[in-house]
Amino acid sequence: MDTNKKLREQISALKDGALPEADLELALAALQGSDGRQAWDLYHLIGDTLRDASAHASGPALSPDFRARLAERLAGEAPPLRRATVAAEPTGLAALLAKSVSS
């Protein structure tokens, strides 16, 4: 079993309010590590992006060849060597949960 995958699933379920109470302690402990915080932030970014995309679905249409031009430009880019991370203190629910675990 992939422990990291299981922890990410639990963090996702926590973010969605669907985590069983029996798994809460483990998920909160995972949020103490950088991987857990990174997953938490990523799931929030995904949710924010999805909500924004659905809010603007009726916005201006992209040109018909947009995908082809974007794919061509991306193909010419060098892949990133390492994903940049931002070291930040947790905020909102994450900060509240972190305090409850450290208390």
Angle at 32 between CA 7 and CA 40, to 5 degrees: 55
The whole-number pLDDT of residue 32 equals: 93
Extents of the domains making up the chain: 1-56+85-103
pLDDT tens string 33-65: 999 999 999 998 888 888 776 656 555 677 888
User: How far is CA 102 from its chain centroid?
Assistant: 23
CA–CA gap between residue 1 and residue 16 (Å, rounded):
23
As a whole number, the mean pLDDT across the chain is 79
pLDDT greater at residue 33 or residue 3 = 33
The whole-number pLDDT of residue 67 equals: 83
CA–CA gap between residue 93 and residue 17 (Å, rounded):
11
